Structure 1
C-alpha cells in the first residue's frame, strides 16, 4: 500500500479536546500538554500473545514508508498512532493502533496540527456534560473480599508472592453522551496524571510504563497505596508510614525489581531511584523511577512486549499470578491494566497503564475496574477500601464531569 503522507505545521488549536470526536475521542493529555486526534487514516488490530511484537513489526513498516514533513519536530509531531492493548493474552478484547486523519498538540510553548493524507480545516465543537452513575458489576464487595481471602491463602501455600486482583463497576452512557466531558473532568482533577482516551478506553493513569524520545526512556513503577490524610500533619504521617511499612514496601519491591529486570535487558544502563512517596489528589503511592537508554532500533512497543504485565498489575511470579487472577476473577479484564498511549515514527512515545478508568463499548456499556496488590498479611476489608479509592477518579468524572 502507498505510504502515508504526513505534514505537521505550527498552529494555535485552542482547547485541544474540543477537536476530538464527541463519542470516540482520541487523546493523551498531561495537564495543558498533550495530543488529540480525530478521524481514522489507518486502524491496525491485533490479538493474542504476540500482539505487541506484531504491532511493533507493522508499525516499523508503516513508519519506514511514510512521507513526513515536520516543521515543529517535538515529541508528538509527525507520524503518530494512538494505541490500546488488551491485558491478557487470551482476552477477547481487540488491541489497536489508530493513525488519525488529524492531530492537534501542545508541548510547552509549541502548538501544532498534523494532517495525515489531505489537509482540512479545524472544526472544534463545544463539549457537553454527560452524567452516569456506576453500580456493582460481576464482582461486588462481598465477592471481592472472598477473592482477597483466597488470594492470601494461595500466597501462604507458596503458589505466588503477590497477586493483583480487581473488581468492576458498570453503567451505561446515554446515546448522545459526549465522552470528551469525562476526559475534561479527569484533566482538571488529576493534572499530574496522564488522561487517556483511545478506542473507548478512558481514564487518568498515574503510572508510566515507558516514555521515550530519541532512545532515552523513563518508567515509573507504583505499588503500595494509602489514602490522603485530612490534615497536613496527618497526611505527612501517612506518607512516612507508607514509605516504611513492611507490607507496602514488600509489595513495591516485587513490582520495581521485576521492572528493572526486564528493562536492563533492553537498556543495560537502566538505573532506578530509591522508592519514594508520590502524592496524588486522593492517594499516596510508593514510586520508583527508572531511566536509561534503549538499545538501537528498540521502540516503545518492543518495551511493552517485554514489560507488560508488570508485577504492579499482575503479581509475582508473573505466570503463576496471571493464572490465579484468571481463576479467581473469572472475567475478561479487556483492556483494563493494559498499555494505552501513543507512538511516533521513530518508535518513541508515551505509554501508561490503563488504570483509574473505564472502557466504554460502542453500544454505550461502561465497565470500570480497580484492583489491589495482595501479599501475605493483606486484609480483605482494607483491600476493598483501597479499590474504592482507586475507583473515585472515573466515578467522579462520570457523575460530575465538569467540576
Structure 2
C-alpha cells in the first residue's frame, strides 16, 4: 500500500530569487544544522545547495513517484514566486530521493529548503522560500563554520561479508546460466560508526574535492557522489548518462590507458553496458521524441575506477517532467538488471538487505518540470535517529561471464569514495 505524509495544512509558500555577488564555493556556504535539512546537487563547482525546511513530504510504496508528483503540483500551484533570475534551478525548487524498491521500509523524502543558493554558468543566485506574506531580500550568504571530521571511525560488514557476497554472485551467475535473467545487479553494504555525529558537509566537501566530475548530492541524510545521471530535463531537452562495465584504476597512467582499452573491448562489460543502454532507450521512448543513442560507449575516467559510458539524448514529449522521466527510467538495468521484474526479485532474494534509497533516483526539480535526477550511487545513508552511524553501499552488474572474486574486488573499489570521505584528511 502507498502512503503520502504531508503537513495537515500546508501554508502558501512565498518565493524570491535574486542574483548575488559571491565566488565562495557552494558547499562552503552550507551552515551547520540538522542532517535532514542539508541539501546539495553540485558538480564542478556549479549546481544547488540548500538548508532549512520550508515544507517536506514523504511517500511510500509502488505509487511513491506519482504521490510525489501530485504533492509537488499542489505545492507549486499555491506558491507566490518572484524570480528575478529565470534560469534552471531558480525560483521554487525541491530536493528529493526515492527508495529503490516498492516494498522498502524507508520512504521517499522530499524537502523544499528555506534557502537555496545556485550557480550556473558562473552566475550565482539565492532563493528564499518562506511562509511569510512579504517578499524580503536576502543578504549575500557568506562562508559557514567549517565542518569537523568524523571521530574514531569504525567499519563493519553489513548484510553480507565479502565471502557471502561472492557466494551471492555465484548464485546469481547460476540463475543467469539457467536462463532466469540476463543480468542482475547485486549490492553490499558496510555499517560505519563514529564517536560523534557525522556532519554531511564534511562528506560533501571531501567528495567534491576528489570527484569533481560527479554530482555531489545530499538529501535528508543520503550523501554521495554519483557518476550516473539518470535523467536531466532542461527546457524540454532530455539527457541520460548510462554507466555499466567497470574496471579499477591502478594509479599508473600508462597502465590505466591499457586497462581502459581492454575495458572498451571486453565482451562481458560491453554486454552489460548494452543491456543498460537498451533499458534506458526503451523507457524513454513513450515519453520522448528524437532519441539519439551513440553507436558505441566511451570510457569515463574517475579517480578510483573507469566505466563504460553512453550519453543518451532526446526531446521531452507531452509535457513529461524530469520526475516523470525518472520514474519511467527506474530501475534501469544499470542498478536492477534485465528483465527488470525478474532481476529485482532475485536482488530481494540474494542481497539480504533493504537498499533503502541507495540506487534510487536522487536530485531536484523546479516548478516548470525541469530538473536533474541521478542514481544514488557511491553513497551512504546517515541514520537520522542516530547520526553517528552511516550505511555505505556498492553494487556490481552480474552477467554470465562474471567471476565472484572479481566482483568482490569491484565492490571494494566502489566503496573507496565513501570510505575515504569518512576519514580525516
Q: TM-score range by the shorter chain?
A: over 0.9
Q: Is it true that 1:8 corresponds to 2:21 in the alignment? A: no
Q: TM-score, normalised by structure 1?
A: 0.96
Cα displacement (A) at 1:262: 0.7
SS in 1 for 2:323: helix
**Unmatched segments (≥5 aa) in structure 1:** none
- The reply on whether 1:383 has 2:407 as its aligned counterpart is yes
2:421 to 394, 397, 400: 397
Matches within 5 A, 1:320-331: 320-331=342-353
Is it true that 1:20 corresponds to 2:43 in the alignment? no
Q: State the 1:179 CA deviation.
A: 2.0
Q: Does 1:217 align with 2:238?
A: yes
Point out the more displaced range, 122-131 or 311-320: 122-131
Q: Is the 8 Å Cα contact of residues 133 and 399 (structure 1) preserved in structure 2?
A: no
Whether 1:319 and 2:329 are equivalent positions in the alignment is no
Q: Per the alignment, do residues 248 and 176 of structure 1 end up closer, same or farther by CA in structure 2, a change over 3 Å counting? A: closer
Give the secondary structure class of the aligned counterpart of 1:106: strand
Does 2:113 correspond to 1:94?
A: no
Q: Tell me whether 175-184 or 114-123 shows the greater mean CA deviation.
A: 114-123
**Does the 8 Å contact 1:26/1:197 carry over to 2?**
yes
Pairwise CA distance, 1:2: 4.9
Partner secondary structure for residue 290 of structure 2:
coil
**Contact 2:160/2:352 (8 A) holds in 1:** no
2:362 equivalent to 1:340: yes
CA distance in structure 1 between the aligned counterparts of 2:422 and 2:261, rounded to whole angstroms: 33
Q: Is the 8 Å Cα contact of residues 129 and 181 (structure 1) preserved in structure 2?
A: yes
TM-score normalised by the chain length of structure 2: 0.91
Give the aligned partner of residue 146 of structure 2: 127
Conserved 8 A contact 1:130-1:179: no
For 1:293, the equivalent position in structure 2 comes to 315
Residue from 30, 42, 54 that aligns with 2:67: 54
- Offset of residue 368 of structure 1: 0.6
Structure 1, 215-224 or 292-301: larger mean CA deviation: 292-301
Secondary structure of residue in 2 paired with 1:268:
strand
Cα distance change of structure 1 residues 176 and 332 upon mapping to structure 2, 3 Å threshold: closer
Contact 1:133 1:398 (C-alpha < 8 Å) held by counterparts: no
Which shifted more, 22-31 or 331-340?
A: 22-31
**1:90, 1:12 → 2: CA distance?**
46
Q: 1:291/1:135 Cα in 2 relative to 1: closer, same or farther (>3 Å)?
A: same
**What's the offset of the Cα at 1:172?**
2.1
Q: Deviations over 1:105-160 (max 9, x none)?
A: 11122101101124455464211232334221121101100000100000011110
Please point out which of 134, 137, 161 is paired with 2:182: 161
Q: Secondary structure of 2:289's partner?
A: coil
Runs of at least 4 residues off by over 6 Å: none
Matching residue of 2:45: 32
What are the Cα deviations for residues 155-206 of structure 1, in whole angstroms up to 9, with x where unaligned?
Answer: 0111100010011101124444422011000000000000001100001000
- Matches of 1:34 and 1:255, distance apart in 2: 27
SS of the residue aligned with 1:63?
helix
Return the alpha-carbon distance in structure 2 between the equivalents of residues 26 and 19 of structure 1: 11
Which residue of 1 is the match for residue 281 of structure 2?
Answer: 260
Counterpart CA distance in 1 for 2:192 and 2:106 is 19
Task: Please report how far the alpha carbon of residue 56 of structure 1 lies from its aligned counterpart in structure 2 after TM superposition.
Answer: 1.4
Aligned positions, number: 401
Quick one: structure 1 residues 294 and 342, their matched pair in 2 at CA, closer, same or farther if it must change by over 3 Å? Answer: same
> Matches of 1:73 and 1:208 in 2, distance apart?
23
The whole-number CA distance in structure 2 between the counterparts of 1:348 and 1:271 is: 20
Per-residue displacement from partner, 1:224-244 (whole Å, max 9, x unpaired)?
001124433221211111111
Q: CA deviation at 1:268?
A: 2.2
Would the aligned equivalents of 1:53 and 1:301 in 2 still touch at CA under 8 Å?
Answer: no
Aligned CA-pair RMSD: 1.5
Q: Which range moves more in the overlay, 299-308 or 128-137?
A: 128-137
Residue 204 of structure 1: aligned partner: 225
Work out the CA distance in 1 between the residues paired with 2:52 and 2:391. 24
Aligned residues of 2:115 and 2:127 also touching (Cα < 8 A): yes
